[in-house]
Structure 1
Amino acid sequence: MEQGGIDWPSSCRNGTCRTCIGQLVEGSVRYTIDWPGLTPEEKAEGCVLPCVAYPTSDVRIEGSAI
């Protein structure tokens, strides 16, 4: 998002601070580590951490889910 010029809150850039949390509305993402900073319930609800997520399709993410 940052490289694409999208203004989105972030802080730690490693998935622990949760500043960037959002709701994945469309598309899919993958992580290089298992769901950093997200509970299983948040994962089931579609929450994502864009700072460490890699899109695997076109995505639409809405603002803070917390």
Structure 2
Amino acid sequence: ERAGLALASSCRNGTCRSCIGQLVSGRVVYRIAWPGLSAEEKAAGRLLPCVAYPLSDVVLRFP
């Protein structure tokens, strides 16, 4: 939101998965234990930007 992007969201806490996207490049960290992604989704680079904090510049892709 601070970047001016209008992404789909419902819960804003990582459980509804409305905002799920693809991390193309960069790194993020989650400050909550369960961000609503499976281990396989995380390994494939999927992310929930509503609860992901960038550790670097990031490039994201959304459906």
* Structure 1 runs of 4+ with >4 Å offset: none
CA distance in 1, matches of 2:27, 2:60: 10
Structure 2 residue runs without a partner (length 5+): none
Structure 1 residue runs without a partner (length 5+): none
Corresponding residue SS for 2:41: helix
TM-score by length of 2: 0.92
Identity %: 63
Count of aligned residue pairs for this structure pair: 63
What corresponds to 1:41 in structure 2? Answer: 40
- Which one-letter code corresponds to 1:58 in the other structure? D
Corresponding residue SS for 2:36: coil
Range that drifts further, 4-13 or 45-54: 4-13
What corresponds to 1:19 in structure 2? Answer: 18
What corresponds to 1:53 in structure 2? Answer: 52
| CA deviation after TM superposition for structure 1 residue 62, in Å | 0.3
RMSD over aligned Cα atoms:
1.0
TM-score by length of 1: 0.88
CA distance in 2, matches of 1:14, 1:3: 17
